[in-house]
Every structure is written in C-alpha cells, then in structure tokens.
Chains A and B, each alone.
Chain A
C-alpha cells in the first residue's frame, strides 16, 4: 500500500527562476521508513514541504503535476485542512518550532493534540506515552525555553508523535544534534511501525542502517529508489558523490557495478 504518490511534479520557489523539482515521480509505501537523500540542493527538503502541504500554499511558489498524500491533494486549501494532524513535519531548527505558549515540556508536547481539540484525558495519555518513548519523562516539568537544542528537538518530536500522525516527515532532524543524539533519533524511527516515516537528510552514513526504503534525488528528479543496499549501492548514485561514504571509497578505488554500502559489505567485496 502506498501512502504517498507523486507524478510529474515540478516546483519553483518564489523569487527564483530555476525549478527546484522537475518532473518527479515517486511513490512511498505506507508504514515504512523511507530515506530521501541526494547532494545538497537536490530538492529533498522541498519535496517534504510539498508533501506537508506548506509549499506552495503557505510559502508561495508554483507547483505543477500531481501530489497525493493519503489520497488527498495537500496543495489545495481543502486538502490541507483534511491533513491537519494526519501529516506532521519536524524541521531542522528546534527553536523556531517551539510554541512559546506553554511553561512546561509536558504542555509543549500537548500543544499539537490540544490544537486538534482532543479531550484532556486523551491528551494526557498520549503525552505521557511519548515522553516515555523518547526518554524525556525526566524533563516533563522543565520550562522548554531552558532546554538545550538536543533536548528541545526531542521535545518537538514528541509533540509531533503525540498527534498520532499517519505520515511523519523529518527534514534534517539531526542538523543541530551531536552525533550520539543523532544516532538515538535515527534508531527510534523503525519503532514507529504505525506511521509512514519520510526522512530527508544528507547524513546517509548514520541514517541508512535505520531505514527500509531509499529514494535518491538529483537535479530535481529521482535517480534511484529501492532498498538501502539497492539504491545506495548503484553506481550512478555513488558516482554523484551522494550517499554512502563506504560505497564512495570502493568506487574511487575502481569498484564498479553494485557497490557495498557498509564495512561488512566491503569485506565480502574484497574477498570475492
């Protein structure tokens, strides 16, 4: 079953004459973790903004082609309203996502569910669940304005998950986290089995062990899609210098065809 279906998608940012995405076709399966990657500027973040319905409705720009998220067109006003709370996006900068309307972490996590109009018992239940899942129950009574960037990003993620979204979009979620914290965030993703997770990042080495599907973009279109070893090991992808460092090393050492993307793969490759 697919959660997201995109066909012939083109998009140009406001004030720009270069299209950011051109004739892009992709389908993303429901209930799995999909990594969208490419070189910087390949259009991964832009794709997420379109899926979230914020581009072009909120941020402007021009869109062509068709987009269906959970069967709905997020670029229309009506479609966008239908998807409120069902499609949720986490941005790279935690500080600009903080609502400011709450004095405790617990209430900050409850901000999204409260906007959906849920009753207080249901909110309390999901908030406690997410605080536990992300290991931040100890922060529950802290003032969110006093947290570090890494703590705050987990609070905002908990706030996103507390809305029980069907689709979770993560745009460079670890950009402001230190490596151990980034690792913990990626490792959490496969546990979200009830949710379709789409992760956009160039941090492929750290993220790829925790994803089930990969889509590689370049020049505004798709160059490869499939399982991590299928997509990231393709010579065309490695040749772009996008994706796995390990595969790139083997490529530069003269390796061709399907390339290994992890250290174990290299051992086999050398042995064969």
Chain B
C-alpha cells in the first residue's frame, strides 16, 4: 500500500460516516454511507475501494452498532461493483449513466442484504425500512416479500443518490486534485 492510499482510506471512511450527519440534517430518506467507497473506486480503483468498504463496516460495527458487522458482505459488494464499473464502463461519463449504475447496484445490494435481514434479524433493520416492512406485512404480504420490497425501495433510492452525489463531486473536481488522481479522468471518460 502506498502512503497516499494509506492516507486516502481513513478520509474516505470518514466521508462515509459523516454523510449521515448531512442526510439527518436534511431529513432525507437515504443513507449515502457508501459515497466514500464509490468515490475511492473512481479515484484509486477497486482494491482501494475494497479496503474502504472493509474498514468502514468494521468501524461502524465496532464503534456504532455491532449488528452492522453482519452486512459486511454488502459493503464489499458495493466496493467491487463500483470498482468494476469505474474501471471498465466509465460510469461517471454522464449523470444518467451514473444514476442507472446506482439503480442496478441498489437491486444487487437489496438482494444481498435480504437474506441477512430476514434470517439474522427477523426482518428488523433500520426504523424507516422496518416500518414499511410492518405496513406491508399488515397488508397481508408474507414477511419475506415485505422485507424484500422494503429494502429494494430504500436501496434503489439510496444507491442511485450515492452515484449521483459521486458524479457531482467528480464533475466539480478541481484541476489540482484531478491531476493527482489520474484514474478519476478515466472514470469520467474524459481521457485515457
């Protein structure tokens, strides 16, 4: 690991964890807690993104709420997906492309977290999602489908928003920083 990657990973994790501050101030129904991971995928590639996802989830799990440790695999999935999409598909070339990739990731992430929420936590995750689950369950939907629908809805919105925020950051990247992260230009499809 180079010193710059060593310095980048803690800051990216910090971004992941500080996003909660902003969305709760704005009372928006998203987490945006993978912005740092996706951003690192665009700036420094899949391996750095994987390290960011791993450290994020471990820190969250140890210092915030250890049930989040169960969702480690989902964070790693986000990192791998974002890394591959940035390296090979230039997903940050335009806003619709970024949003679309986020939407697909939302479906994947919801499908990956579904069995964990259901089997380990009996369908109870974050309060908002659980409320939707309870309402759907009350309407007669079987629990497993209620959990899936609720997490699908939130994950699609969240991951689409995440990719759009990263798109906004990359297109606002000043020349001084862009020159220091050559991979960013590739992810935006403007060079290389």
Contacts and interface: CB of A to CB of B under 8 A. Distances in A.
Interface of A: 13-16, 58-60, 100
Nearest to B173: A15
Interface string B4-46: 1000001000000000000000000000000000000000000
A65 B126 CA distance: 59
Contacts of B88: none
Q: Secondary structure at chain A's binding surface: helix, strand, loop or mixed?
A: loop
Nearest to A54: B3
A14 B3 contact: no
Interface of B: 3-4, 10, 175-180
A15 B180 contact: yes
Q: Secondary structure at chain B's binding surface: helix, strand, loop or mixed?
A: helix
B3 A15 contact: no
B4 A15 contact: no
A130 B89 CA distance: 54
A58 B178 CA distance: 15
A171 B4 CA distance: 20
The 8 closest A-B pairs by CB, nearest first: A15-B179, A14-B179, A15-B175, A14-B180, A15-B176, A15-B178, A60-B180, A58-B3
A58 B177 CA distance: 14
A60 B4 CA distance: 11
18 contacts: A13-B176, A13-B179, A14-B176, A14-B180, A15-B175, A15-B177, A15-B178, A15-B179, A15-B180, A16-B175, A16-B176, A16-B179, A58-B3, A58-B4, A59-B180, A60-B179, A60-B180, A100-B10
Contacts of B10: 100
